[in-house]
């Protein structure tokens, strides 16, 4: 992607959410495993830890680090908000926006994408279905990750349970803005789910529990990366 030298597709982004296995020192360990899997396979693997872990992780690894959210605010009087500049300075290269667990109004998604662009953060807008993905595409984010909420955390992969949502999202987004990279997520737990996602036209995946809750997250990330290459 132009201007962001360590980002390339296919890309796997691991959302750490607020899982115990991905908090504090454990978050750092998990990010190190992601880096090792990325080096081993040559596939871009990014991590999205909690805000307070961004700085520590970004200093320890050289894979892309994404914030889980930003607020569309500026320097000034916004106690308790997440300032895009702080996220960037902490070492993140991008941010999720509008995750199903952190939904925003359309006007705020637009403002957050603009702020991300202003400070040089890659915007990854999460969407729940095809029409919302199409609306998000009009706002010119860098990436859109479609995740049917009812499949999140279930282990039932979107790429197999709802392939039509993925293909119609790819089609709608590319029609509106061919520059936008489309990812999908929810329920992805093995390499097959990843190759299915790529074959449906996505350029990567957003995943959480399939990696974070795995017995051997490193092995799972290597499997995912190899599957993404083979698809
Ligand atoms: O952001 C990714 C996430 O919402 C998907 O969760 O646990 O189904 O991979 P999971």
CATH classification of the domain holding 219: 3.20.20.70
Domain for residue 1, yes or no?
A: no
Residue 112 belongs to domain spanning: 11-230
Give the residue whose CA is nearest to atom 2 of ligand 1.
207
Tell me the C-alpha distance between 133 and 136, whole Å: 5
The residue whose CB lies within 8 Å of the most ligand 1 atoms, and thus the one to mutate among 185, 187, 193, 214, is 185
Domain for residue 120, yes or no?
A: yes
Q: Model's pTM, two decimal places?
A: 0.97
Give φ, ψ of 218 to 5 degrees.
Answer: -60, -50
Instruction: Tell me the pLDDT of the chain averaged across its residues.
Output: 97
- Reported confidence tier of residue 2, pLDDT bands at 50, 70, 90: very low
Q: Residue 90: left if φ>0, alpha if ψ -120 to 50, beta else—which one? A: alpha
- Judge if the beta carbon of residue 206 lies within 6 A of ligand 1: yes
What pLDDT is attached to residue 231? 84
Which of 35, 69, 147, 226 is an active site residue? 147
Domain for residue 75, yes or no?
A: yes
- Reported confidence tier of residue 34, pLDDT bands at 50, 70, 90: very high
Domain count, the chain: 1
Domain for residue 4, yes or no?
A: no
CA of 153 to the centre of ligand 1 (A): 6
């Amino acid at each position: 992607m132009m201007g962001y030298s360590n980002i390339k597709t296919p890309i796997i982004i691991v959302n750490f959410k607020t899982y115990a296995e991905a908090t504090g020192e454990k978050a750092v360990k998990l990010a190190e495993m992601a880096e090792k899997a990325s080096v081993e396979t040559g596939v871009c693997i990014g991590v999205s830890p909690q805000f307070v872990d961004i700085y520590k992780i970004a200093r320890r690894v050289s894979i892309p680090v994404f914030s889980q959210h930003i607020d569309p605010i500026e320097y000034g009087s916004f106690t308790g908000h997440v300032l895009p500049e702080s996220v960037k300075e902490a070492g993140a290269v991008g941010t999720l926006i509008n995750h199903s667990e952190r939904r925003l109004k359309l006007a705020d998604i637009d403002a957050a994408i603009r702020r991300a662009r202003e400070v040089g953060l890659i915007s990854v807008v999460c969407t729940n279905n095809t029409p919302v993905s199409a609306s998000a595409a009009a706002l010119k984010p860098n990436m859109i990750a479609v995740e049917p909420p009812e499949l999140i955390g279930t282990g039932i992969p979107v790429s197999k349970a709802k392939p039509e949502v993925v293909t119609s999202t790819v089609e709608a987004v590319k029609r509106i803005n061919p520059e936008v990279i489309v990812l999908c997520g929810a329920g992805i737990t093995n390499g097959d789910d990843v190759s299915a996602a790529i074959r449906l036209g996505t350029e990567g995946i957003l995943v959480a529990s399939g990696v974070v809750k795995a017995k051997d997250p490193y092995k799972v990330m290597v499997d995912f990366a190899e599957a993404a290459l083979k698809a």
